[in-house]
Amino acid sequence: MSDDIETQVVHAGAEPDPATGAVSPAIQMSTTFKQDGVGGTRGGFEYGRSDNPTRRALESAIAELEAASHGLAYASGLAATQNILYLLEPGDRLLLTDDAYGGTWRLADKVWRRYGIVVDVVDMTDLDAVAAAVPGARMVWVETPTNPLLKVVDISAVARLAASAGALTVVDSTFATPFLQRPLDLGADLVLHSATKYLGGHSDVIGGLVATRNDVRAERLRFHQNAAGAVPSPFDCWLVLRGMRTLAVRMERACANAGLIASWLADRADVDAVHYPGLPSHPQQELAARQMRLPGAMLSFEPTGGEEAARRLVAATRLFTLAESLGAVESLIELPAAMTHASVAGSALEVPPGLVRLSVGIESVEDLVADLASALESA
Ligand SMILES: Cc1ncc(COP(=O)(O)O)c(C=O)c1O
């Protein structure tokens, strides 16, 4: 069709309906499909948990956006994570990045350890540390940029190290989306998204997506997708597809806003640290420029005055809504240590208590800056 992602996001998985010409995919709610004789399915559809036309459109769309041969859709990002972890066997070792979504850690630490998975944590921005930790690992779980400290991991380098040790590389690319980076092109085996975030883009649908080029792994994932059953509803698939159409323009605007806000915060005397991969002060700024089309629309910062100041700040914004989640048109603010990352307290993934995370939306950047300025002053 086109190699340009701006065109792909508009058209991926969007063939006009052959029967009616409808340009928007139909929301096919039927849970079961007539068979023409036993096993005589029409297009392979038999039961809605196993496959569904609206879900198939979404799955082919994410496969196309990630330059993959297989896409799979799930009821949430964590259901997608769970499905990938089903690839492990008891006794296998999972190597996890030391800054990651709290729910990913909770699933690995509180659930999978109970089933005999060994979970180890390493700072994946330190390639020597990855090289030392990777022997014996079965799966290397990268998140980049990371949530909430915005570390950037070198996907090619980590995937090479993992492959040399016989481990699979999984990249949680939720913060980047296929618009900013394509992990499979960089050597990753599997890429995962919480579609709840930028792909859906409007804070109105929970979903997860996985893409891969490997036929055998796709088959295993497809088996568990059906066997465990954490599939999205047809309407949810349609909402994610609709959100995807504007991914490119939303990301461009949100990234531009985030870049301006990050520079503005970095210049303030009442802010101790700003974590944003587009800032010259960011330790992986060069890598981010090489690996990502734009530095993203997520950032975190530490206001002077620690946790107390941070708590006052997040309660004082008006346009930035105090809420969990990220990646939608509206700007959000939160305190990871007390909210999205409460489950990492006391672990190697613990985050600073005074860290404030912003998901920068597509509003007027002047309005967003004015909102932060008055909140910082009142804090
Ligand atoms: C980076 C990342 N991965 C995965 C998830 C989990 O996705 P979901 O909330 O859709 O289950 C989240 C949720 O915030 C996330 O931020």
**Residue of 14 and 181 predicted with greater confidence:** 181
Residue to mutate (ligand 1; options 147, 192, 205; most atoms within 8 A of CB) = 147
CB 361 within 8 A of CB 331: yes
Q: Is pLDDT of 7 > 80?
A: yes
- Average pLDDT of the residues in 360-364: 98
Q: Is pLDDT of 2 > 90?
A: no
- Average pLDDT of the residues in 251-273: 98
**Which candidate in 55, 93, 182, 197 is catalytic?**
197
Q: What pLDDT is attached to residue 112?
A: 96
- Matching residue, tokens 């690992």: 137
For residue 191, what pLDDT band results from cuts at 50, 70 and 90? very high
Question: Token digits for 129?
Answer: 């540390």
- Average pLDDT of the residues in 256-276: 98
- Return the ligand 1 atom nearest residue 81 CA: 4
**What is d(CA 229, CA 342) in angstroms, rounded to the nearest whole number?**
28
Contacts of 37 (CB under 8 A, 6+ apart): none
**Which candidate in 99, 154, 172, 236 is catalytic?**
172
Q: What pLDDT is attached to residue 379?
A: 83
Q: Is pLDDT of 222 > 90?
A: yes
Tell me if residue 49 is catalytic. Answer: yes
Q: Is pLDDT of 1 > 90?
A: no
Q: Is pLDDT of 278 > 90?
A: yes
Other C-beta atoms within 10 Å of 5: how many? 21
Q: What pLDDT is attached to residue 3?
A: 87
| pTM, two decimal places | 0.98
Tell me if residue 172 is catalytic. Answer: yes
**What is d(CA 2, CA 7) in angstroms, rounded to the nearest whole number?**
7
Q: What pLDDT is attached to residue 345?
A: 93
Residue type, 220: R
- Average pLDDT of the residues in 252-267: 98
pLDDT averaged over every residue in the chain: 97
Q: What SS3 state is found at 308?
A: helix
HEC per residue, 109-122: HHHHHHHCCEEEEE
Q: What pLDDT is attached to residue 275?
A: 98
Q: Is pLDDT of 216 > 90?
A: yes
What digits encode the pLDDT tens for the residues 128-140?
A: 999 999 999 999 9
- Average pLDDT of the residues in 326-341: 97
Q: What SS3 state is found at 194?
A: strand
53 lines ligand 1 (CB under 6 A): no
- In percent, the amount of the chain with pLDDT more than 90 equals 97
**Which candidate in 101, 109, 151, 357 is catalytic?**
101
For residue 214, what pLDDT band results from cuts at 50, 70 and 90? very high
Beta strands in the chain (DSSP E): 70-74, 93-97, 118-122, 139-143, 168-172, 190-194, 208-212, 271-275, 298-303, 321-322, 332-334, 356-359
What digits encode the pLDDT tens for the residues 148-167?
A: 999 999 999 999 999 999 99
What digits encode the pLDDT tens for the residues 49-105?
A: 999 999 999 999 999 999 999 999 999 999 999 999 999 999 999 999 999 999 999
CA of 90: how far to CAs of 41, 116, 117, 198, in Å?
Answer: 37, 5, 5, 34
